[in-house]
A and B are shown apart, each in its own frame.
Chain A
Amino acid sequence: MATSAQTPASHRYTIVAILLHWLMALLIVWQIWVGIWMSGAIEDPATQAAAYDAFQFHKSLGLTLLVLAVLRLLWRLTHRFPPLPAHLPAWQQVAARLSHILLYAFIVLIPLTGWLYVSTGWNSAMGMAFQVPTIWFGLFEWPHIPGIEGSSALADVAIEMHQVMAFALIGLLVVHVAAALKHHFGDRDYVLWSMLPIISNPSKAD
């Protein structure tokens, strides 16, 4: 950690931002995996019960992620965050900004479209009404967005967006992780360290 002393503390994310980032990273990967699994498993009588449970859990976790995403966005807007490394070429600066804007948009919009979808009480896969309340981890009823119940058109759009954005997020996550590794092992700068300060900072100074 001797080298990290040469990187200003302002190049590190705040502890709240770091905790939110890794907690959400874990939950999002889980959500995508379960989400893909359950959409198919619900059709199979052998896995219907488990998939039903997965749907209830997916809804609870998704709404939790929505709250966390909003908190995170507020945190981002009200706190200092590390600057991009000075060595970064212009196109990478644009790519970094753009990908982060997209990441923030997705982590808000994906759960939001999921909430919209279940609020319509419409099952787009089956093309019929399907009113299932959302009980947050079995504890209390999470309200559905009022005024859209029975809107099949909205349900179709919401679930389509939900899925398209989830798959786009997978691609974006691959780029995000690859970029972090490239910064750490290739450029040997502080980028990965700024969000994962338990690893050593390869940067000499910046």
Chain B
Amino acid sequence: MKKHLLYFSISVILLAGCRQKGDIYLDPSDPINMSYTTYAGQFDIIWRGMNSYYVFWSEDSTDWNNVYTTMYPKFEALDEAYRIDSIAPDSATLMDLYAEATSTLIDHHLGLQFRDVHTGKNFVYTPGEAEVKRRDYAIGQKYGVAAMTEAISSTINAGLLDRGQWGEMDGNRNFFGTRTLEDGRKVAYLWQNNFNMQESLQKEGSTDAEKNYISNIRNWLDMCLNEPRLAGIILDNRCNKGGQTRDLDLVIGAFLNEPLHYADLRYKEGPGRYDYTEWIPAYVDTTLISNRRDLEAEHIPYIVLTNAYSVSMAETSAVIIKHLPTGRMIGERTFGAHGQLMSYSTIFHDGTFGTSGGKHYVYMSSMQTRFTTEGVLEGIGITPTKTILQEDEGYLGAMTKAIDYIKAY
């Protein structure tokens, strides 16, 4: 029997060696891991950072292992070329390689910023924006604040809005407009190029433009809540780059009777690709506004306008309005950046890593968003109730449709 026990012990010891030792996860924000001096070393640490910190691996079909095995030799080839003749690759080559590595990733908040290890030149690549530019309905279309300013002017000229006021603060613009229909009922219209409403309402504003910016938000809300002859509300989220989700408590919470469970969020709690937390429910709060208005009871439509450059919070608010009892979403399919961002990634092992302006900086979502109504649509965007493309009907198309809808409601 002793012999058997001996065999057993030896076998256990031998077989115990069959457990392989794993690779150690590297912290991609640690200065030690930023001390690389080669293109391949830079790619390696960015790849590892993405491997751990990216929150959409559960949804993303990108074969991330394959990205490493196919791309790493290409970066090594750059190093080899530099070693031979000390000539750094041109900007396009380096950008193309990172584009090839990340082009299929669905996180549309993703922004890669990296510095050429030899020339010190900085590069920025945003795979999400590149994807949106390739969409058939967005090709050749003008988006942005300038295009929107022009569009609103033509909206007024076309008689779709009676009058309005421009505001500007901290580089952001907004426009509050009204329209009195033939029967005397009124339409409240607000466009803004980002969401920072709650923060803005707490400020005073020193210049006229700033005061206008704040009063535009206040006036729009006031009209939505208190105008007795309100025919409809238009929230124009076109060319809106997103912002603070707590503004949902204003633009949605003002019209709810009870808190709305609009999405579930989850972050990462470990360095593994799929080390997710549970889904955490996210609510629109109704306590911020006391004199809330029941649009359904008063039969008032709430319309949100979107286009391909309605980003993040502009999409989140749109998808909620789309599913409100009197809500309607008109325009183009949105950008597709729904993940929420938090600043303290070291707690959650996900989201943005690196140093802004440093050797590498990867900006991305730190929470995966799953809408209660439509699920995870990261990288796809929200499809409107009524699709009106700018390439067909210009900026006026969606606005015309909105006013017609309110008239007929």
A and B bind: no
Give chain A's interface residues, CB within 8 Å of chain B: none
